[in-house]
Amino acid sequence: MPYGTLWTDLDLGRGSRAFDNGGAGNRLPPTASYTTVWNLKATGPIELPPSDYGPNMNHIASGKGAAPSHWSVEDIAAAKLCQPDLHEAMLGRRR
């Protein structure tokens, strides 16, 4: 499973299947620790995934709903983010 993955500045269309995956339902969580989801956009509401989706996730401007205590969720409007695309910002800083 992916570990420490960054998903940033994605347009999810309607957003109705934001965290669906193709993996078998009886396997481990869809993601490992420290996955960051940054600035997801959709025409409809984006709901956070279920609490067993993965440990220690970070959601920044990427969904609403109840979150377990082992997640960091920042409900920031996309227009107020310091960087809309976190990956591009990190690359720019390295260069």
CB atoms within 10 A of CB 31: 22
Instruction: Report percent pLDDT > 90 for the chain.
Output: 72
Give residue-wise pLDDT tens across range 49-76.
999 999 999 999 998 988 999 999 998 9
What tokens appear for 38 in the block?
A: 């940054």
pLDDT at 5: 94
pLDDT at 1: 62
**Domain boundaries of the chain, sorted by first residue:** 1-95
Q: Is the pTM of this model over 0.75?
A: yes
**Residue ranges in the chain modelled with pLDDT below 70:** 1
Instruction: Quote the distance between the C-alpha of residue 78 and its chain's center.
Output: 13
Q: Measured in Å, how far apart are the chain's first and last C-alpha atoms?
A: 30
What tokens appear for 88 in the block?
A: 């591009």
Instruction: Report percent pLDDT > 70 for the chain.
Output: 98
Give me the amino acid identity at 95: R
What tokens appear for 46 in the block?
A: 């984006």
